Chains A and B, each alone.
Chain A
Amino acid sequence: MNKELTTQFMTINMGPQHPSTHGVIRFIIDTDGEIIHRCDPDIGYLHRSIEKIAEKVTWQGFVPYTDRVDYLCAMNANWAYSMAVEKMIGVEAPRRAEFIRVIVAELNRISSHLIAIGTTAMDMGAFTPFIQLLREREYINDLLEMASGARLTYNYICIGGVMADLPLGWSEKCEEFIHHFDLAMEQMNRLVTYNQIFINRMANLAVVSPQMAQAYNLVGPNLRASGIKRDVRRDAPYSVYPELDFEIPVGKGLEGEVGDCYDRFFVRVEEIRESLRILRQCLKMIPEGEVMAKVKKTIKPPAGHYYVRHETPRGDTGYFIQSDGTTSPYRLKIRSGSFTGMSIIGELAKGTFIADLVAIIGSLDVVAPELDR
């Protein structure tokens, strides 16, 4: 008798309650020991039917809901929606409001990236950098609270401008923060980014080629990490971004191939630097004046459909809005970067270790609420 030893795949249920799926995402993974053979993302645990709610509320009434689409960058989501409606009703926000929008949105981008790189570091087992980055994020929250009155869901940027002007002395506070944060970020880089153990974990892992990135429709930092220089702030500029001087960081394959997990991580670190540059310029250039354009109490945009692209920390976020000329949208569709990031995980995870899957999820910066909406 010649019996061959056969092994079975072990099917493991990773999530919805798992420490590193950040929110409620579930993966069904088939493993051979530690090596993943199939990874099946299962989404929808955080579906709150925000798009359907939009059809029932007024145009202004939907702004607070956009906060909840992606609670890590509520300002950007506010802005994207407001921009879409402004375009529909032909209102232009005052110049000072546009600058305030850029400032708060870039601050929010920084805080969102801090969470992204912090959680990646935490998934790699480095707990301290995560907490230290949360501390820096608290300072950003303080700043945003001074401006808007809220720490997480701001509802600050509204149709026609911003809710309120920045308080007196806010820009000095912000400059103080930028100076502090520059140093703190360098410290964090020494702690994590240039750590050899961390580099070994991230480099050459889950390489996304430019073709693959485009085929899976990756956006934002995930796409740029693959070496494709694409950023809505540059390609389809909005607001005052054309006047500002900033770079679009792309993945250069610093420690391995272009498009690996380390590149995705490092692009976010670089984007934080660019955001600081934008902030510095804006604080110098910001003019005096009104912060709110005249907008009617009851908005009734003309019938038709509109699509607005906006660069959130998760990348090119699109708001497709169909109006039938009434006081609420006929249909609203949000296109999010997390969804495409999620769709590529199954492909990337094949043949990697379980520990790598955690790194891949972290490096793609998948945010559960934005994924399911």
Chain B
Amino acid sequence: MGGDKSSEDKTVGIVLVSHSAEVAASVAEMAKGLAGGAAGVPVATAGGQEGGGLGTSAELVRAAAASVDRGAGVAVLTDLGSAVLTVKTLLAEGDELPDNTRLLDAPFVEGAVAAVVTAAAGADLDAVEAAATEAYGYRKV
């Protein structure tokens, strides 16, 4: 972060993109709940299509990312298919999402918990990404 004072006391924003509005909202609630003192972490969801229904809305993704941008970067977690492709396409566009927005290669639920917990501890975007990505390494069997 190059000693840039602007990112010192700012929190990484988290965006959760799911085909389902309910899934996105529930995962956000669960991640914040498990993170304990995560009240200061901006978490926004982009779930389903704009008019309801399953799918991905580029408009909702744009709005969610803008709403959690505090200048320390925005970490985006997605479920599958069009959620991944929509975020990648918006990132490729260059000016659609806030500067320093990153799609994390992480499992949706576990990655969201790891990202919110890490962001709540005041970590930077690299650390948030590393924590969320590491969630893939947690074997269940």
| A, B co-complexed | no
